[in-house]
A = this chain, B = another copy of it.
Amino acid sequence: MFTLQITPSFSDTDMLGHINNTVIPVWCETARRPIFELFNPGLVADQWNLIVARIEMDFINQIDFKPVVEVKTAIERIGNSSFTVIQEIWQNELKVAIVRSVLVHFSYKANKAVHLPQDVRSKLVPLLQS
């Protein structure tokens, strides 16, 4: 598991005074950067080999503007060509959201899913949620 601290931006709030729900996928994408680097260390566009197939978000508590937020990222499932990232968002020691993202190892040239390479798989395994 790895953790990213995020300072909410004022523009992340909405007129209800809390963080808008559409901000959560952005924070989670930012926090998935170390996983992107396992697949594409240079984070270079023409070698990108992941695509998002599905995202599930559960909003548990309202998120405030002021306190820093923590995104905890782990792997929940490893399949043949896809895997599921599980992310928890915490604020003030309260779990405020859970996000599951299904990422597919993908060839943008062939436009199809590709089996996970063994070397990347072996780096994902230690990240499996215990």
Binding site for B on A (CB under 8 A): 4, 7-11, 13-18, 20-23, 25-27, 29-30, 32-33, 36, 42-43, 45, 48, 51-59, 62, 65-66, 108
Contact = CB atoms under 8 A, between A and B. Distances in A.
Contact of A58 (B25, B42, B53): B53
A54 B55 contact: no
4 nearest CB pairs, A to B: A13-B15, A9-B30, A11-B22, A15-B45
B16 A21 contact: no
A53 B27 CA distance: 18
Contact of A33 (B7, B51, B57): B7
A26 B54 contact: no
Contact of A22 (B22, B51, B56, B66): B22
A54 B65 contact: no
B52 A16 contact: no
Nearest to A57: B55
